[in-house]
Amino acid sequence: MRIRRILSIIKKEFIQIKRDKPSLGIAIMMPLMMMFLFGYAVKVEVDHVPTAVWDESQTLQSREFIRSFQNSNYFDVVTYVSNRGEMQALMDTGEVKAALHIPPDFSRNILKGEPAQTEMLVDGSDPTVARTVFSSGVLIAEHFSRNISLKTMLKRGSGTITLPVELKPRVEYNPSFKTEIFTIPGLIGLVMQNITVMLTAFSLVRERERGTIEQLIVTPIKPAELMIGKLIPYIFIALIDFTLSLSIGMFWFHVPVKGSLALLFPLALVFIIVALSIGILISTVARTQLQAMQMTMLFLLPSIILSGFIFPLDAMPEIVRLISYMIPLTYFLRIIRGIVVKGVGFDILYSDTLALAFFGLVLFTLAIVRFRKKLE
Amino acid sequence: MDYAVELNGITKKYGNLTAVDNLNLKIPPGSIFGFLGPNGSGKTTTIRMMCGVLTPTSGSGKVLGYDILKNPEEIKKKIGYMSQKFSLYEDLTVEENLDFYGEIYSIPPKEFKERKDIVYRMAGLSGREKTLAGNLSGGWKQRLALGCALIHKPSLLFLDEPTAGVDPVSRRIFWKVIREMTKNNITVIVSTHYMDEAQTCDLVGFIFKGKLLDFGDPNEIVKKNNAQNLEDVFIKYVEEMTGEHHGVRPLDIFFNG
Ligand SMILES: Nc1ncnc2c1ncn2[C@@H]1O[C@H](COP(=O)(O)OP(=O)(O)O)[C@@H](O)[C@H]1O
Ligand SMILES: [Mg+2]
């Protein structure tokens, strides 16, 4: 293996990248576009849920109760109705995603110090939204009733304030349940994978399509020299892409990186090398850029579903989960979420990093072995 | 090493098509071998097998003493190859292409500058160093390809139809270079359409439908067949092979297969 040959390939690739402005533009713009586009798409809005209210009590207490919903920012009271039929109709058409029903005896029960039943309807079409809406409603109601019991007890003047046993849940890492905290880091991983695989997949196939491969394979260049030389320039581009995607996540979607950036970048580099190797492997099989594109898609699609980007791995059946472990993105999602969301260190992430490094080694070696200095 | 190239029963099949059919060839070092035949007769396929970039279906061969099946990488160090279709980087300049191949062939940096000057002069490339290869005209592209094939001082040079469709100046440059090479005992294998070019080769081989129909000194071949020139000889061969006789413009039939 000769360093000079590798350097000459790197230099040549850089010159070609520099002169191919449209491709360079795409390589830089694509992650930006994907981040903005998907960033909003994956942001599940669970605040300001349009809500209908059926207030049969029409009292000071009921209005206060409604206000506490309104003030929570989770609910937007958009309309008042006067019977169950109207409430149901609004839910059916999707005009409201939640409905709050306060029965006539609401105030009376409160003043008597008896439990006051209220009712909440939630549109369950999207379980994620429904779950959040539901738990927000419960929280608000609990908070409201605690205030009332406090007030009444104070009014009665009894010396001891005894609240029933209370479970106060504390959510770690993402206490406000902001979905973007979870989805944006995943998106960065996904976007990186998509761009990076394509970068190298095209680079070698282009040589085949243009016929320049013929002159190259008639020289004494070794497959490893060619592959390494082709990989390195794209590492730089991929690192730029990663920096851009991460910046959009941090500054546009306001997802702070809790852990160390100095750890995130080297681990991202490992993932980039894995993804570039996948691209190179594809290009040793594909004959045309179209084929390379199709193979890339064939590889990317399952990784979106199975990597844990959308559905948690824990919820998958055993066999499917085994496939997930074959997808490099799975490990990088754990790494980037670990660092961004939880702020964990290498002591936690080393096994995922090792898995990635292993993938990189195997895939890159496979590409070198597969690459034949032959025509057909 | 008795021969620069020695092919024994080399065959290449593409599905049902036999592109090269049981070909035997012996080319002594330092000679110019003209490889003649109409389009699609198997010249390029044969040359690629000699360069070690195409695996023959059967048969064996040696190039510069190395087995084409077992040792293609050793062969690649010592040969220069100019493909029929331009296969250098169109988005690189003349100089960048030369630099790239110079480095790929690991020419020592000290020697490289001198080598480059020689190649610029031989291939008549001076003045176009900074031009993008893609912006060169056909003849100039071919000259650049020749330059890249020569940059590492190969012992054996393969030129696949280097003069097809190029201007007369470039054509003259090519033949000047080819003759200069043999002075240094470099073997040149050149495929061509042009019979006047072929006449000046040390050896010619005529291939048709993958079969080598004749091989030898061009003057002897003409004499042996009682013909005026090579062109007449090869028309005769094609007619014998196809069983046809055409009274008109033999050259057209020859070239259109
Ligand atoms: N890669 C290939 N796949 C299928 N057929 C091929 C391939 N390369 C060449 N051929 C066929 O082999 C025959 C010989 O081609 P070639 O060696 O290019 O001829 P020449 O160089 O003399 O014009 C032709 O019929 C051509 O169509
Ligand atoms: Mg040809």
Q: In this complex, how many residue pairs, one in chain A and one in chain B, have their CB atoms less than 8 Å apart?
A: 74
The answer, yes or no, to whether any atom of ligand 1 lies below 6 A from the CB of B97, is no
CA of B209 from ligand 1 middle (Å) equals: 10
Ligand closest in space to the Cα of B38: 1
Of B13, B20, B44, the residue with max ligand 1 atoms within 8 A of its CB, to mutate for a pocket test, comes to: B44
- Give the gap in angstroms from C-alpha A230 to the nearest C-alpha of chain B: 14
Instruction: Give how far Cα A231 sits from Cα of A15, A20, A109, A197, B19, Å.
Output: 14, 17, 72, 11, 36
Distance CA B99, CA A94 (A): 67
Task: State the pLDDT at residue B9.
Answer: 96
Whole-complex ipTM? 0.91
Percentage of chain B lying above the pLDDT 70 cut: 94
Per-residue pLDDT of B54-93, as tens digits, reads 999 999 999 999 999 999 999 999 999 999 999 999 999 9
Instruction: Give how far Cα A157 sits from Cα of A51, A151, A154, Å.
Output: 38, 10, 5
Task: State the pLDDT at residue B197.
Answer: 86
Task: State the pLDDT at residue A162.
Answer: 47
Task: State the pLDDT at residue A163.
Answer: 46
Can you list the alpha helix ranges (DSSP code H) found in A83-126? 84-93, 106-112
A82 near A131, Cβ under 8 Å?
no
Q: Retrieve residue A262's tokens.
A: 């100095």
CATH classification code of A49-172: 3.40.1710.10
Beta carbons of A215 and B88 less than 8 Å apart = yes
Whether pLDDT at B248 is above 50? no
- Give the gap in angstroms from C-alpha B220 to the nearest C-alpha of chain A: 34
Task: State the pLDDT at residue A125.
Answer: 81
Largest CA distance in chain A: 97
Residue A119, strand partner residues = A101
Q: Where in chain A is the domain with CATH 3.40.1710.10?
A: 49-172
Per-residue pLDDT of B13-32, as tens digits, reads 999 999 999 999 999 999 99
Burial of A227-266, coded b for 16+ CB within 10 Å and e otherwise, reads bbbbbbbbbebbbebbebbbebbbeebebebebeeebbee
Task: State the pLDDT at residue A172.
Answer: 59
Long-range own/partner contacts, residues A103-107 (CB < 8 A, 24 or more apart): A103/A56, A103/A57, A104/A56, A104/A57, A105/A57, A106/A56, A106/A57, A106/A59, A106/A61, A106/A62, A106/A65, A107/A57, A107/A59, A107/A60, A107/A61, A107/A62
The answer, yes or no, to whether any atom of ligand 1 lies below 6 A from the CB of B193, is no
Task: State the pLDDT at residue A127.
Answer: 76
Task: State the pLDDT at residue B250.
Answer: 47
Q: Which of A15, A214, A373 sits opposite B92 (nearest CB)?
A: A15
Task: State the pLDDT at residue A69.
Answer: 87
DSSP, collapsed to helix, strand or coil, labels residue B207 as strand
Q: What is the pLDDT along chain A (376 residues), one digit of tens a residue?
A: 889 999 999 999 999 999 999 989 988 998 999 899 888 887 666 778 899 999 998 998 889 889 988 888 888 999 999 999 998 888 888 889 889 999 998 888 888 777 788 888 888 887 777 887 888 888 888 888 777 777 776 776 655 544 445 454 555 565 555 667 788 999 999 999 988 998 888 889 999 999 999 999 999 999 999 999 999 999 999 999 999 999 999 999 999 999 999 999 999 999 999 999 999 999 999 989 899 999 999 988 889 889 988 888 888 888 988 999 999 999 999 999 999 988 999 999 999 999 999 999 999 999 999 998 888 8
Task: State the pLDDT at residue B238.
Answer: 82
Whether pLDDT at B146 is above 60? yes
Task: State the pLDDT at residue B257.
Answer: 42
- Domain at B5-256, CATH class: alpha beta
Q: Which of A5, A210, A218 sits opposite B103 (nearest CB)?
A: A5
The answer, yes or no, to whether any atom of ligand 1 lies below 6 A from the CB of B43, is yes
The answer, yes or no, to whether any atom of ligand 1 lies below 6 A from the CB of B45, is yes
Task: State the pLDDT at residue A176.
Answer: 58
Enclosing H/E stretch for A375:
none
Q: Which of A206, A213, A204 is nearest to A231 (CA)?
A: A204
